[in-house]
Amino acid sequence: MVIFNSILALLAGVGVFIVGMNMLSQSLQKVAGSGMKRLIGKITTNRFAGVGIGALVTGIIQSSAATTVMAIGFVNVGTMTLSQATSVIMGANIGTTVTGLLVSLSSFDVGIYASVLAFIGVMLQFIKNDKAKNIGGIICGLGLIFIGLDLMSGSFNNDEIKSFIQNIFSNIDFPLLLLLLGIIFTALMQSSSAMTGLVIIMVASNAMPFKSGLFVILGANIGTCITALIATIGTNINAKRTGFIHLLFNVIGVLIFTIIVWCFSDSIINILNTIFGNNYSIEIAVFHIVFNVTTTLLLLPFIKYLVKIAQFVIKDKKNDVSNVIKYIDNRLLMTPPIAFEQVKKEIINMAILSHENYKMAVEELFSQDDKNVGKINKHEDEIDYMNSEITKFLIKLSPLLNGQNEKILGSYFHVVNDIERIGDYAQNFSEFSIKMKNDNLKFSNVALNELKQMCDNVEEMYSIAIDILSNGKFEELDRLSKLEEMTDEYKEKFSAKHFERLSQENCSMELGAYYITIISQIERVGDHIVNIGFSTKNPTGDQK
């Protein structure tokens, strides 16, 4: 019965500790989270800066998982490269050791002060001011961490439970089993900090041998990767690679340190005991710091190789179109203003892709060499996918905005639809080219020259529309309208000339059918381009 009660107290302590850590981390993120996201988003190619920022952000918000998930989110929306994310994750692993140092303070008698902190924090929660509530959450979370540690420590005060735990670890003193234990329990708790706290308490109370604690701590560094791996579910290939690199980094470090500790455990323990005077709590925390700092220093020069391994293991899927999404991610919906800016970037990305497809399709019409057919079809699949994903994102974002932004968002539904239709016409042009080649049909030089005039006119229109969409150059709308009128005139003029050629039997009926269809569709492309420009100008969605 005593053992059962002690286990319940231990579980209660772990639960209180995790609640305290979550409250502390969430409150810190509310206070500093937006600034931390901007800081991470400004990572340069300097890997040392990446490590420093990753460590700083994690040290401030007290959650390596949150920093890693942020990095995965940035990779998923294309604002951070794999190499940049790797350096941030390395820094996050260093920053998380601050928690270990915090936990090691439990070796001092701080229980009464922790209770006071928790009480003050709870009282601040009743204040209506959001800033005061967040500060209260930080103070209360800190207090709960030490209360949880105190509960865990108290569960080992009984000699019976201590003997019971000691017997368990005497039977699983093999290093690899201890590593596995650390991995499993950390993965289940999804908190390396909680596992570190538990190990510190068990070692300090002599329930776990110090040597065993070192191996469990090493295993915890692998188990903590489960949060990042879960965060990669539903993300693109590069985001999944980021989660894999996080796991790979920790596995390599753990393998190196496992060999070192296994071979030189007595020397390592003696050095720590000599420096810190047998204060096991501090020694475990310091060992955790040494592991993460050393692993980072060892692997920092090899970031590009870690990236290559991730790319080799997680290959790009054939015909996978999901990678084309660069800027939007459902995680951004938590910050609607940022999501609003990102969805505009994604629409521009879609417009540029559709523009490229249009140019390749026109080239196919004139050359009939089929060299771009594969690319055109692939891009069309990507454009259709983007249409679907952006539309779904717009639907989710719409209720979160108000005022002018809400009206602009409404116009984006029209813009996305027009871009997708232009993509359809581009694929039509490619298919016409293939059919004409198979039927051994070619336009005359006169007809080709007419088509070129129309296509060049529409090409200029598309460049203007993208500029309006990207930079808000609404003064270009008059020019866009004039070019669209010119396209209409070309269609009328060239149709008349074509019927004249038919009447003079200078063109076959079969070839004529292609010509009329193509110039009609080019004119329709021009209409959609004008819609893009005027929808952007008129947020109500009214088109020209």
Query: How would residue 251 be classed by pLDDT, with cut points 50, 70 and 90?
Result: very high
Q: Report the CATH number that the domain containing residue 466 is assigned in CATH.
A: 1.20.58.220
Q: Is 112 exposed, middle or buried (0-12, 13-18, 19+ CB in 10 A)?
A: exposed
Residue 420 confidence class, pLDDT cut points 50, 70, 90: very high
Rounded to whole angstroms, how far apart are CA atoms 124 and 130?
A: 10
Same domain for 289 and 308, yes or no, is yes
Two structure tokens written together for 503: 């009447």
Same domain, 292 and 166: yes
Q: Is the pLDDT of residue 529 over 60?
A: yes
| In-domain check, residue 65 | yes
Average of per-residue pLDDT across 374-384: 88
Are residues 365 and 332 part of one domain?
A: yes
Structural domain of 409? 322-537
SS3 state at 508: coil
Q: Do 149 and 264 sit in the same domain of this protein? A: yes
Residues 61 and 39: their CA atoms lie apart, in Å, by 13
Rounded CA separation 154/156 (Å): 5
Indicate the pLDDT class of residue 318, thresholds 50, 70 and 90.
low
Residue 250 pLDDT = 92
Our measurement of the distance from residue 523's CA atom to the centroid of its chain's CA atoms, rounded to an integer in Å, reads 40
- The verdict on 175 and 232 lying in the same domain is yes
Among 270, 293, 313, the domain boundary falls at: 313
In a domain, 499, yes or no: yes
Residue 542 is assigned to a structural domain of this protein:
no
pLDDT band at 278 (very low <50, low <70, confident <90, very high): confident
Q: What is the pLDDT of residue 2?
A: 65
Q: What is the mean pLDDT of residues 525-540?
A: 79
Cα dihedral 254, 99, 240, 40 sign: negative
Does residue 153 or residue 470 have the better pLDDT? 470
Instruction: Say if residue 252's pLDDT is above 90.
Output: yes
Task: Report yes or no on 186 lying in a domain.
Answer: yes
Band (15; pLDDT cuts 50, 70, 90) = confident
Lowest mean pLDDT among 221-225, 298-302, 501-505: 501-505
For the chain, the residue count is: 544
User: Over 80: is that where the pLDDT of 171 sits?
Assistant: no
150: in domain: yes
The answer on pLDDT for 13 being more than 80 is: no
302 and 337, same domain (yes or no): no
Q: Residue 86 corresponds to which tokens in the numbers above? A: 């790797």
The pLDDT value recorded for residue 70 is 72
Alpha carbon distance 269, 262 (integer Å): 11
**Who has greater pLDDT, 280 or 69?**
280
Whether residues 297 and 371 share a domain: the answer is: no
Percent of the chain predicted with pLDDT > 90: 18
pTM: 0.58
Mean pLDDT of 136-144: 81
27/157 same-domain check:
yes
Number of domains in the chain: 2
Mean pLDDT of 289-309: 91
Mean pLDDT of 312-336: 75
The answer to whether the CB of 106 falls within 8 A of the CB of 153 is yes
For residue 539, what pLDDT band results from cuts at 50, 70 and 90? Answer: low
CA distances (Å), origin 50, targets 98, 248, 253, 264, 301? 18, 18, 19, 33, 13
Over the range 151-179, which residues count as b (16 or more CB within 10 Å of their CB) and which as e? bbbbbbeeeebbeebbeebeeeeebeebb
Q: Are residues 87 and 233 in the same domain?
A: yes
Q: What is the pLDDT of residues 26-72, one digit of tens each?
A: 776 666 555 555 665 555 567 788 888 888 877 766 667 667 777 77
| Domain end (from 293, 313, 333) | 313
Mean pLDDT for all residues in the chain: 81
544 assigned to some structural domain:
no
Name the 3-class secondary structure at 340.
helix
In this structure, the answer to whether residues 339 and 439 fall within a common structural domain is yes
Q: Among the three residues 289, 313, 337, which one is the final residue of a domain in this structure? A: 313
Query: Could you tell me which residues come within 8 angstroms of residue 398 by beta carbon, excluding any fewer than 6 positions away?
Result: 406, 409, 410
Do 157 and 234 lie in one domain? The reply is yes
pLDDT of residue 293: 92
Q: Are residues 355 and 415 in the same domain?
A: yes
In a domain, 105, yes or no: yes
Residue 543 belongs to some domain of the structure: no
Flag the least confident range among 63-77, 103-117, 210-224, 362-376.
103-117
Where residue 541 falls among pLDDT bands split at 50, 70, 90? Answer: very low
Q: For the residues 77-98, what does the mean pLDDT come to?
A: 80
Q: Six-digit token pair at 127?
A: 């204040």
Per-residue model confidence (pLDDT) at position 351 = 92
